[in-house]
Amino acid sequence: MSRRNLARFGLLIALGFLLANVVASFHAWRFTHFTTESGLHTANPEQLSGPQKLWVLLTGIKNPKPLNHARPPFPYQTIYLTSPNGRLESWYSAAPHARGTVALFHGYTSSKGKLLTEAATFRRLGYSVLLTDFAGNGGSEGSVCTVGHHEAADVATVVRWLQRRPGAVLIYANSMGAVATLRAEAELGVCPTANLLECPYGSMLETAQSRFRSMHMPSFPMANLLVFWGGLENNFWAFDLDATRYAAHISTPTLLMWGTADPRVTRQETDAIYAALSGPKQRQDFPGSGHEPYWWKHKQLWERTMEGFTNSISSHLSDNGFSTTTSALVHYQLQR
């Protein structure tokens, strides 16, 4: 190859790399910043046709701020808490003679209004509930969503507010909310009584890669560039957003749940998180369920799992707090 052709080839490589970074930075911004435009969020990658996938790759996702389209059917009051990310809007419902309080946290492009069935179930089990919109979502301030990193500070704000009140504090969280919970406990010093976590992704890089897999496209290097720019644009190193690493620092009794047909969170990711958890733990898989509420397809199994786990926690609560021994959870797991 001549020197001139070599220079042209090098220029093409440089231009391609520059273009890839421009596209990645644009997509990362759209992915982590909600807009005030009306309309529906772009459908999940696995639901898009070929031309629709190409259009999304060219223009980015449509990402309007999630809203609460439903209100609790049970008595509640709206409260506001101040997080480092801004003012959070929460719905608090006190249960008579409560066994404790369950703090509920939603996933990406969702809101607290999507967790009303779960909240009603915990109320029937004797718990007060507190549902919260992460910053940027629903009735909370802001427009930024970091898919679990900054949201950990919102989890910390909510749990510490509840811990100033009497009673146990349990966390129920799914997807992004579950990752935010793990980071809040591993890096921000949050210590709830127990966790009930649905489908946390393994790491930010893995969840970016899953988006490309869902579109049947190679993930390298665009997934890596998306993670790089998503962190840079939001002032954190997104490659360190890693639920498996967080789990290794958590001794909180934890129920980990996963749907066997989940297109976004793999069995390998879930197995790694479960293996890393250092405290008492229980695993429940839901056959045929995707990245969705498990009560949709397995209502009885999901309700039985919630009741069994919360009963095992309650049985080991005392006036002096929770005893983090493994025997109760192991006994419950073997007796199911």
Residues 132 and 5 in one domain: no
Asked if the bond preceding 221 is cis, omega within 30° of 0, the reply is yes
The predicted pLDDT at position 328 comes to 41
How many Cα neighbours within 13 Å face the side chain of 247? Answer: 25
Residues 17 and 119 in one domain: no
Asked if residue 325 is part of any domain, the answer here is no
How far apart, in whole angstroms, are the C-alpha atoms of residue 243 and residue 264? Answer: 14
Residues 2 and 37 in one domain: yes
281-313 pLDDT, tens digit each:
999 999 999 999 999 999 999 999 999 999 999
Of 237, 259, 294, which closes a domain? 237
The residue among 177, 148, 178 whose CA lies nearest residue 256 is 178
Asked if residue 329 is part of any domain, the answer here is no
Tell me the pLDDT of the chain averaged across its residues: 90
The predicted pLDDT at position 2 comes to 80
How does residue 320 score in pLDDT terms, banded at 50, 70 and 90? Answer: very low
How far apart, in whole angstroms, are the C-alpha atoms of residue 21 and residue 15? Answer: 10
The predicted pLDDT at position 172 comes to 98
Asked if residue 101 is part of any domain, the answer here is yes
Kindly tell me if the per-residue pLDDT of 212 is higher than 60.
Answer: yes
Averaged over 104-126, what is the pLDDT? 98
Asked if residue 333 is part of any domain, the answer here is no
Residue 140, phi then psi, degrees to nearest 5 = -85, 160
How does residue 4 score in pLDDT terms, banded at 50, 70 and 90? Answer: confident
Q: How many domains does the chain contain in total?
A: 2
Angle between helices 299-314 and 327-335 (to 10 degrees): 150
Q: CA Rg, the chain, in Å?
A: 21
Query: Residue 88's domain is classified under what CATH number?
Result: 3.40.50.1820
Residues 13 and 119 in one domain: no
Asked if residue 26 is part of any domain, the answer here is yes
The residue among 73, 71, 167 whose CA lies nearest residue 111 is 71
Angle between helices 222-232 and 204-214 (to 10 degrees): 130
How does residue 20 score in pLDDT terms, banded at 50, 70 and 90? Answer: very high
Dihedral Cα 175, 281, 184, 265, nearest 10 deg: -20
Of 237, 260, 292, which closes a domain? 237
Domain that holds residue 223: 1-64+204-237
The predicted pLDDT at position 331 comes to 39
How far apart, in whole angstroms, are the C-alpha atoms of residue 148 and residue 101? Answer: 22
Residues 219 and 164 in one domain: no
Asked if residue 69 is part of any domain, the answer here is no
The predicted pLDDT at position 62 comes to 80
At which residue do the structure tokens 């209100």 appear? Answer: 71
User: What are the residues facing 144 on neighbouring strands?
Assistant: 33
Averaged over 159-166, what is the pLDDT? 96
How does residue 246 score in pLDDT terms, banded at 50, 70 and 90? Answer: very high
Residues 144 and 262 in one domain: yes
How far apart, in whole angstroms, are the C-alpha atoms of residue 312 and residue 325? Answer: 11
Asked if residue 332 is part of any domain, the answer here is no
Residues 39 and 98 in one domain: no
Of 217, 237, 257, which closes a domain? 237
The predicted pLDDT at position 8 comes to 84
40-70 pLDDT, tens digit each:
666 666 666 667 666 666 666 788 999 999 9
Residues 59 and 21 in one domain: yes
**pTM for this model (two decimals):** 0.90
Asked if residue 72 is part of any domain, the answer here is no
The residue among 172, 185, 179 whose CA lies nearest residue 238 is 179
Residues 258 and 141 in one domain: yes
How does residue 169 score in pLDDT terms, banded at 50, 70 and 90? Answer: very high
